[in-house]
Structure 1
């Protein structure tokens, strides 16, 4: 009898999983598989095209700038056209960009290709996150967002991991990596075609923000929302400046090979397969803001400590912990956003949520490349830590979550 009750509790804990959520998790993997490849192959691009760190920083900066331009239109279209059409459009853009990257013979063509890959995720995020947010109540939403986010972390890890295996082990060229990774996109298309246009049957709870008349950008930009977006901007700055040059740092400063450096970098994201869903369950239990505050503090501290050790094993362990705690609060961030905006405008709301990442991503890598060239990678990372700390203070003392 006791074992039957345990099985019942286990099934109850997972009862929120639906086909729609599975589709969002799988497509989240696919939409991010190309995004981390170009920074993972910076050493190869530097050699093939004779690029400086500053020029590599510009290559890293232009795609997020393109994202920023399309972010608000993508959110508005998501609310107007629905998630299903936008997801299919995102895959079409992703495949086109990857195919162009596979034949790129100059930095300009490569930048165009990567920009298309980034625009794919700009189209994808408002549609997918609004779908997930609208399909679940406040209590279940963090758990759903955790599983949704786990797909994204796997996608982010897949690109660098593919570089490590296909280039470092199997001796493929970097162009072939882009070509090979277009094949799994067909799975995403098939899954989305079987998806209902929008989730239905989920009642909104009483503390949902007002939903009268939809809402434009000015209606969504309350003081609390703007402070939350400021937190998002600063944390994005810290993350962007670290991720853009971390593989190069491992190779140039720590003396690792490309295969090992990309393996370490991707392994941090692979931890998200555990961290993201666990974080969703914990946020549901302890509260989104509380969970976000504690875990982000631990993650930032781990990264800061990693810079002060010469022991490679300890450095890797601390970096992995940083990645784990930075991902374990992902569901908290996306669930908090759902509390701050009405249901009818969540496509636009999530586009605003991802807009700081695009804007900061368009500036931070170029600045980081210039600083790294003048003062070294460590100074870039110290600035990142400062941005993280300021973001934490804003979230702790200024963002109000019911």
Structure 2
């Protein structure tokens, strides 16, 4: 018998707490990922508003919303290595509480471009929890189910959709500081819940050696570099659109800011929903063909987007299909991580790969803003996306396919 009553009797008889259920641990990690990503994405929906308030150029606006992305990305490298050593029960509460500080600062004290850049820099801490959750979930699930489990955990990136749906509306209807106050309270509450309920798997492999030595060893892994590039394209494309799509829709289609934010939220929701699908398909088929399909579709859709068709229905369908392709790709990349990387290095590799994904989302908004400022058009930006996705498909079909076959 393995029901609740049996587990309680076992604990009473032995004095040892029962092993937590993996599904509960997965749910807690996913919620933590979503909450911290919600905080991480608070500035993006306000980009157009801050541009008017602070009289920013197109490039300055792009820089403002991109700073949390790059900090959250690079921060995953040390956070992933620390998670291999300290575990998620320690790291999730710490990162949630640290993120409260920049959230409150941005909501109440920032009043200039420099102030928002400083706050956005530390807001990037919220984007590092991805590297905490992946090794945690990886340890709780067997190899045959890790693709789906990691895909479900990846749904937590839907925190960016929550931000897109609510930030502008709450700021307008309740007050400019309310979205920040709400997120700060939720972060603090989650930190308490995580400390009380999260449990690392007792037999999880704990990495030996210093953080620096393990990072150097990780960067020498060919698989880590290949996976980093693939994730930079898949997740980076998702982040870039979630950050810059509101600005693009306002500039290219003359939508109002609230409508653009809601349409962007739809893009994010679909990409998030497809992430576990990408993991599930990778468990059933193989990550390599799933990635080839995702990158091939992204290439064609980016070329279509470059023609700037009417918003309804063609452009809307193009962007939604791109969301589905990128979301599927993100799930497949981490199914591949679980297969190619030793368990004790998953956190460190996740940090590096996750950093590459975030950096992949940092540069496209800057390029799009710069290109639009120089030419008044977005054609070059979409052509660059198509070329990058085509390159990712080529790398997947050659080097990654060979490494996956050798590992299997």
Is this contact kept in 2: 1:142–1:331, CA < 8 A?
A: yes
SS of 1:256 mapped into structure 2: coil
SS of 1:51 mapped into structure 2: coil
Is this contact kept in 1: 2:90–2:195, CA < 8 A?
A: no
Could you tell me which residue of structure 2 aligns to residue 216 of structure 1? Answer: 214
1:113 has 2:119 as partner = yes
Q: 2:107 aligns with which of 102, 105, 121?
A: 102
Could you tell me which residue of structure 1 aligns to residue 185 of structure 2? Answer: 183
Output one character per residue of 1:221-277: Cα deviation in whole Å (capped at 9) or x when no partner.
222332222333344554455444321111121111111111010111222453233
Matches of 2:228 and 2:275 in 1, distance apart? 21
Could you tell me which residue of structure 2 aligns to residue 77 of structure 1? Answer: 82
Output one character per residue of 1:160-185: Cα deviation in whole Å (capped at 9) or x when no partner.
11135324xx5344433222232322
Q: 1:347 to 1:232 in 2, by over 3 A?
A: same
Matches of 1:231 and 1:330 in 2, distance apart? 9
Q: 1:311 to 1:212 in 2, by over 3 A?
A: closer
Superposed displacement of residue 281, structure 1: 2.1
Matches of 1:232 and 1:276 in 2, distance apart? 13
Matches of 1:241 and 1:320 in 2, distance apart? 14
Matches of 1:299 and 1:233 in 2, distance apart? 13
Q: 2:150 aligns with which of 145, 148, 151?
A: 145
Is this contact kept in 2: 1:64–1:358, CA < 8 A?
A: yes
Q: How many residues align?
A: 376
* Structure 2 unaligned blocks of 5 or more: 1-20
Matches of 2:299 and 2:184 in 1, distance apart? 35
Could you tell me which residue of structure 2 aligns to residue 10 of structure 1? Answer: none
Output one character per residue of 1:63-110: Cα deviation in whole Å (capped at 9) or x when no partner.
344335533322222122221111111101221111111012112221
TM-score of the aligned structures, taking structure 2 as reference length: 0.83
Could you tell me which residue of structure 2 aligns to residue 198 of structure 1? Answer: 200
Is this contact kept in 1: 2:97–2:187, CA < 8 A?
A: no
Matches of 1:80 and 1:164 in 2, distance apart? 39
Q: 1:121 to 1:270 in 2, by over 3 A?
A: same
- Give the alignment's Cα RMSD to 1 decimal: 2.6
TM-score of the aligned structures, taking structure 1 as reference length: 0.85
Q: 1:331 to 1:199 in 2, by over 3 A?
A: farther
Larger helix fraction of residues: 2
Where do residues 122-141 of structure 1 align in structure 2 (5 Å cutoff)?
122=128, 124-141=129-146
Please say which of residues 258-267 and 76-85 is displaced more in the overlay: 76-85
Is this contact kept in 2: 1:145–1:280, CA < 8 A?
A: yes
Where do residues 45-84 of structure 1 align in structure 2 (5 Å cutoff)?
45-67=50-72, 69-84=74-89
Is this contact kept in 2: 1:272–1:328, CA < 8 A?
A: yes
Output one character per residue of 1:319-364: Cα deviation in whole Å (capped at 9) or x when no partner.
1121122112322111211222221122211111112134444544
Could you tell me which residue of structure 2 aligns to residue 396 of structure 1? Answer: 397
Matches of 1:362 and 1:269 in 2, distance apart? 17
Matches of 2:208 and 2:90 in 1, distance apart? 25
Superposed displacement of residue 117, structure 1: 1.9
Q: 1:158 aligns with which of 132, 146, 162?
A: 162
SS of 2:173 mapped into structure 1: coil
Could you tell me which residue of structure 1 aligns to residue 294 of structure 2? Answer: 295
